[in-house]
Amino acid sequence: MSLTSRIVLSMVLAMSGGILLKLINDAGYLGEIGQLVLISFFTEGLLDIIGQIFIASLRLVIVPLVFFSLVCGVVSISSSSRIGTISLKTLSLYLLTTAIAISIALTFALLFQPGVGVDLALPTAFQSTEAPSLKEVLINIFPTNPVAAMAEGNMLQIIVFSLLFGIALKSLGSSGDALKTSFETINNVILSLVKMLIELAPYGIFALLFSLFAVQGFSMIGDLAKYFFLLVFVLIFHAFFTYGSLLYLLAQLNPLKFFMKVRSLAIFAFSTSSSSATMPITLDTVKNKLGVNSSIGSFTVPLGATINMDGTAIMQGIATVFISQAYNIDLTMVDYLMVILTATLASIGTAGVPGVGLIMLAMVLEQVGLPVEGIALIIGVDRLLDMTRTAVNVCGDAMVSCVVAKSEGEFNSETFRSEN
């Protein structure tokens, strides 16, 4: 059985098994001993430990993977001037897809009106974290201590330092060959470690999803069903329509082939609910399955995991309309345009900030005069939605990697067309 098949099977078994255990437990059939063994020990104990260790193992390789692969990628680029071109293309595409994402979200939200008739007799306390100013964002992109940036996992600072280090190493010419060889060897070791972790993916995914659905099930959806399912639909629509269209129009690649090759990546992202934790798998997918040259993928993927927030932008668009309707506050066309602009620019401005989704949503709500406390209405269903958003985000990272690589002549069409 292929790795993709094993990942799909583990997801299906975990979700169905977890939901079944949740239903049996809610019906009172387990008893004290059953709860102790199946819930406390097996689900909340053993499986949670396995899942958390798996996530920690993935995070273990993120920083060295980004640093060494990006340095090796920069060194392998023929001309230093191409680095600027690649950076501009990548950033522009990420911002474009984010703007399209929130525009689609607002359109569908206004059409289906998810907030009409919502009962607000709910606790609405939410404390938002203040977003950094533009000045702070620009200053914080450049690390004062690269070691500290790596220890803290500050991805934008790591990317900037890696680019500068790679450019400096490239400028040494033949005198830097020994260091280049060492970096390539270390990079190969890290990639080998990533492949080992990928083989364990079905077990990690099973542990993560089973424990989640056994404890929460679908009961958290409740009165927010219309909001929940509309958001899921728009996320799926954006992934297939927007990404598929851009892939076909800008790179002349078959969208169906693309989605078949990234399906295991999407499932992996869904289970981890983290673009950063999924980054090693994303890099492996774009290089070995989609045919993107490592010099491109080692830059586009880490940058995408940091600033590509299409899924979050869709959540912001629908949540803004939902909250405005729930509070019976009418928004003008200018307000909606401000939502699009704010969410698109904030995807860069809040990169690397903990709780970024809710921070960005708070920024958007304040921009159009809506009560930030409304965020408390949707927090309950955000866990499942966050998983879906992450799956969409990593597909966006892979799509942009393909488009940029194809435009730069760094794309292997044979690998893309292959059946692996």
Which candidate, 112, 84, 66, places its Cα nearest to that of 283? 66
C-beta atoms surrounding 354 within 10 Å: 8
The answer, yes or no, to whether residue 234 has pLDDT greater than 90, is yes
Of residues 365 and 246, the one with the higher pLDDT is 246
Integer Cα distance of 96 and 357 in angstroms? 19
The answer, yes or no, to whether residue 419 has pLDDT greater than 80, is no
The answer, yes or no, to whether residue 233 has pLDDT greater than 90, is yes
Which candidate, 65, 3, 60, places its Cα nearest to that of 294? 65
The answer, yes or no, to whether residue 123 has pLDDT greater than 50, is no
How much is the pLDDT for 100? Answer: 92
The sign of the CA dihedral 71, 76, 193, 399 is positive
Integer Cα distance of 387 and 77 in angstroms? 35
- Pair of tokens at residue 156: 């934008």
The answer, yes or no, to whether residue 119 has pLDDT greater than 60, is no
Within 13 Å of residue 160, how many CA atoms lie on the same side as its CB? 16
How much is the pLDDT for 78? Answer: 62
Across 121-135, 195-209, 280-294, the highest mean pLDDT is recorded for 280-294
pLDDT tier, 235 (very low <50, low <70, confident <90, very high otherwise):
very high
The answer, yes or no, to whether residue 126 has pLDDT greater than 50, is no
Q: Does domain 3-417 have CATH number 1.10.3860.10?
A: yes
Mean residue pLDDT of the chain comes to 82
211-225: average pLDDT: 70
Asked if residues 376 and 122 have their Cβ atoms less than 8 Å apart, the reply is yes
Question: Which tens digits make up the pLDDT trace of 280-334?
Answer: 889 999 999 999 988 898 889 888 887 888 888 898 889 888 888 888 888 888 8
Least reliable range by pLDDT among 27-36, 170-179, 262-271: 27-36
Domains of the chain, residue spans = 3-417
How much is the pLDDT for 131? Answer: 53
Find the Cα–Cα–Cα–Cα dihedral 309, 312, 318, 319, rounded to 10°: -140
Phi, psi dihedral angles at 411 (to 5 degrees): -125, 130
Integer Cα distance of 404 and 293 in angstroms? 10
Question: Which tens digits make up the pLDDT trace of 43-82?
Answer: 888 888 988 888 888 788 878 888 888 888 788 776 666 7
Instruction: Look up tokens 């203040």; give the residue.
Output: 130
CA distances from 261 to 289, 354, 393 (A): 7, 31, 15
Instruction: Look up tokens 């698109």; give the residue.
Output: 344
Asked if residues 383 and 287 have their Cβ atoms less than 8 Å apart, the reply is no
Which candidate, 136, 412, 159, places its Cα nearest to that of 304? 159
Which candidate, 7, 354, 6, places its Cα nearest to that of 152? 354
- Pair of tokens at residue 388: 């879906």
Which candidate, 347, 333, 406, places its Cα nearest to that of 106? 333
Diameter of the chain measured on Cα atoms: 72
Query: Which amino acid belongs to residue 98?
Result: T
177-187: average pLDDT: 89
The answer, yes or no, to whether residue 5 has pLDDT greater than 90, is no
- Pair of tokens at residue 38: 């199946």
Asked if residues 277 and 59 have their Cβ atoms less than 8 Å apart, the reply is yes
Beta bridge partners of 292: 411
DSSP code for 292: B
Listing DSSP states for 57-71 in one string gives: HHHHHHHHHHHHHHH
How much is the pLDDT for 139? Answer: 80
Question: Which tens digits make up the pLDDT trace of 354-409?
Answer: 456 766 777 788 778 888 777 777 776 777 788 888 899 999 999 999 999 999 88
How much is the pLDDT for 29? Answer: 80
How much is the pLDDT for 184? Answer: 87
How much is the pLDDT for 403? Answer: 95
Of residues 223 and 28, the one with the higher pLDDT is 28
Least reliable range by pLDDT among 75-84, 144-153, 175-184: 75-84
pLDDT tier, 198 (very low <50, low <70, confident <90, very high otherwise):
confident
Across 138-147, 194-203, 396-405, the highest mean pLDDT is recorded for 396-405
pLDDT > 70: percent of the chain: 88
The answer, yes or no, to whether residue 117 has pLDDT greater than 80, is no
How much is the pLDDT for 22? Answer: 85
pLDDT > 90: percent of the chain: 20
C-beta atoms surrounding 32 within 10 Å: 7
